[in-house]
Amino acid sequence: MPPRLDLSDVYSPAYRQELHDFKHYIGILLRQIFLRNFVASGRLAQHPAPWFADPANHPTPTAFHFTRRLFEYLADCGELSEVGGHWSPAPTLTDADPEDSNIEAYLNDHPHNRRMYDFLRGVRDVSPRMLFQGEDSLLTMVMDDFHKSMALWEDLMERASVKAPGHDVILRALKQLMASSPLPITVFEGGAGIGAALRFALQDPEFRALSKKIGHYAFTDISLSLIKLGRAWIRRHDPETLADRMTFKVVNLDKMELPEAFLQPQSVNAIVCENVLHDVTDFGYTLNKFHSMLKPGGSLIVTMAFRQRPRDFFMFEFMQSSFHSYFNAKLEPGFRETYGWLTAGDWERSLKRAGFSRIDFYPEEQDMPTWVFGGLVAWK
């Protein structure tokens, strides 16, 4: 079996600062959402605490779950508690940046984060419509201009700095596989979207050199529009003609109607899922399918954030928590306990149940509260 990947250079002081800044500024946005929508509006005073915990009092499941997670986050930070049957904010729960001037100064110094943070400010600004009128915050992205919204999504998926370690997990796991394989390999990517994982990999000279070992790469997603963005980029940036050995196809991981080449069990050396598996409805079903598709010794390479307690985590799933797709999963005690990103424990139990043997987590479990984002390689 290959050795663990070394990601010590990825989990660096610079990345630690990115996470620290994200927690700080997005934490401010979350408090603004709470203060504007629940305190200034009088809703918190008007309703007893259990009222907010009843889905019937919210226009959509997204509004309900978002409210629940926001309250859990503030309670876990010690800034919201139940007093006399009502939620009561602590005096320290204030708006630390009412004019957005601090965040503006930060973004002027860190322009690579501007699009992401601007989008999250947009979610804050449409939050009343999301929470009380049942709109999906993805509407914020649409901005009445489809092309602009696709360009924004493409940029977020490719460059969001907090999720960067996952790209390295995929790059290094594929390089390890290609370097050690005497024969051409077959790779299936699910939820490939705009192709963030391959875009990152194809910028690495070693990966480009090794990519001749890829015999067939299936690039699949549920969205044809995203696949087209991915395919266009790969064709533009791929002098080694990897694109000629790729199949681009719509595949819904909840149905697994696969391209012909993958219909036989044991047909794939590696399966890649960059930040997608938390979106499938029946996690166990998809993992079972993946296990049967893999050749013996094959690997499932997955990236994600590992769920932590709310005060260390909700900022990172703020954007997704305003999308209806984040709450589609079928929950299953012991295996899939929460919507959205899973805990390392749920991953481990679900992968073992599907038949995977060795599982390498990045970062290691004891470091997850610090680094949050990463991935895993699970072996058949």
Ligand X SMILES: C[S@@+](CC[C@H](N)C(=O)[O-])C[C@H]1O[C@@H](n2cnc3c(N)ncnc32)[C@H](O)[C@@H]1O
Binding site for ligand X (CB under 6 A): 157, 190-196, 221-223, 226, 252-254, 274-276, 279-280
Give the dihedral of Cα atoms 282, 170, 343, 295; nearest 10 deg: 50
- If the CB atoms of residues 189 and 360 are measured against ligand X, the closer one turns out to be 189
* Distance between CA atoms of residues 54 and 154, nearest Å: 36
- If the CB atoms of residues 37 and 275 are measured against ligand X, the closer one turns out to be 275
Pick left, alpha or beta for residue 358 (phi over 0 → left; psi -120 to 50 → alpha; otherwise beta).
Answer: beta
Q: How far is the CB of 328 from ligand X (least distance, A)?
A: 8
- If the CB atoms of residues 89 and 230 are measured against ligand X, the closer one turns out to be 230
Q: How far is the CB of 157 from ligand X (least distance, A)?
A: 4
- If the CB atoms of residues 21 and 254 are measured against ligand X, the closer one turns out to be 254
Q: How far is the CB of 344 from ligand X (least distance, A)?
A: 19
Q: How far is the CB of 274 from ligand X (least distance, A)?
A: 4
Q: How far is the CB of 343 from ligand X (least distance, A)?
A: 19
Is residue 366 packed enough to be buried (19+ CB in 10 Å), middle (13-18) or exposed (0-12)? exposed
Q: How far is the CB of 373 from ligand X (least distance, A)?
A: 12
* Distance between CA atoms of residues 369 and 11, nearest Å: 13
- If the CB atoms of residues 28 and 270 are measured against ligand X, the closer one turns out to be 270
**Structure-token pair, residue 129:** 């419509």
**DSSP state string for 127-189:** HHHHHHS---THHHHHTT-HHHHHHHHHHHHHH-GGGHHHHHHHHHHHHHHHHH-SS-EEEEE
Nearest to 336 by CA among 287, 269, 374: 287
Q: How far is the CB of 31 from ligand X (least distance, A)?
A: 25
**Structure-token pair, residue 16:** 């630690």
- If the CB atoms of residues 104 and 254 are measured against ligand X, the closer one turns out to be 254
- If the CB atoms of residues 187 and 192 are measured against ligand X, the closer one turns out to be 192
Q: How far is the CB of 257 from ligand X (least distance, A)?
A: 11
Task: Give the residue nearest to ligand X (CB).
Answer: 193
**DSSP state string for 304-334:** EE----GGGTGGGGTTGGGSGGGG-PPPBTT
* Distance between CA atoms of residues 214 and 189, nearest Å: 13
Read off the DSSP letter of residue 302. E
- If the CB atoms of residues 223 and 247 are measured against ligand X, the closer one turns out to be 223
